[in-house]
Amino acid sequence: MTLFLKGLAFGFVLAATVGPMWVLCFRRTIEHGALAGFVSGMGIAVADGLYGAVAAFGLTAISGFLLDKSFWLGLIGGGFLLYLGTKSLLAKPVLIQEENQPGKSLPEAFLSTFGLTLANPPTILAFVAIFAGLGLVSSADYTAASFIVLGVFLGSASWWVILAAGAGWLRRRMGPGLVRTINVVSGLSILGFAFWQLAQVLR
């Protein structure tokens, strides 16, 4: 239970840290509603859980393969962030009154954030280092490792529930002018993260 709670706390803090995925999920909630933001967050939570599993179970073959391909994955992820940032800057400030969006947009929302999160293989090294520092991988007990991974996933998922609910509440009280401001700020932020990631990859 202690390992589960540590994993839960780590997953929550990891998700709550402001980054390109945080900005992307917030903007999607403002534009498309709480469900779209929540589904986008679940894509990130699942990817965090998978990377947590690679670290917790010591799956060195998988981590080695992903790290070996980190240049191309990072390049693809950075390019996609450039696209999303540009799209956000050019988006029209139209408020959609209905919370429910067409079903076909939800799988796209999930897969885009899932893929973007996986496109950063060095995250595995961060999981390994932090898990070791917190004493989360002190044994080869698969049951303990499973509780750690479950905690990371649920901690990450709980943050996205909070973000989607909060942004959804805010969305219902906003005018087109504020939506446009959020689009611009989000777009510039995502572009900044994209340039930073591409610079790291090319370096």
* Closest C-alpha to 15, from 58, 55, 52: 52
* Closest C-alpha to 8, from 117, 158, 191: 158
Task: Tell me the C-alpha distance between 151 and 52, whole Å.
Answer: 10
Which tokens belong to 4? Answer: 């589960």
Task: Tell me the C-alpha distance between 191 and 203, whole Å.
Answer: 18
Which tokens belong to 125? Answer: 């090294």
DSSP three-state, residue 174: coil
Residue with tokens 């996609």, as numbered in its chain: 80
Compute the CA torsion angle 68, 71, 76, 77 (nearest 10 deg): 90
Residue with tokens 């994209």, as numbered in its chain: 194
Task: Tell me the C-alpha distance between 184 and 203, whole Å.
Answer: 28
Which tokens belong to 97? Answer: 């009154």
Each residue's pLDDT expressed in tens, for the chain with a length of 203 residues: 777 888 888 889 888 887 888 888 998 888 888 898 899 999 999 998 888 888 777 766 676 777 777 787 778 888 888 888 888 878 776 555 444 444 448 888 899 899 888 887 777 777 777 777 666 555 556 777 788 888 889 999 999 999 999 888 888 777 777 778 888 888 888 888 888 888 887 87
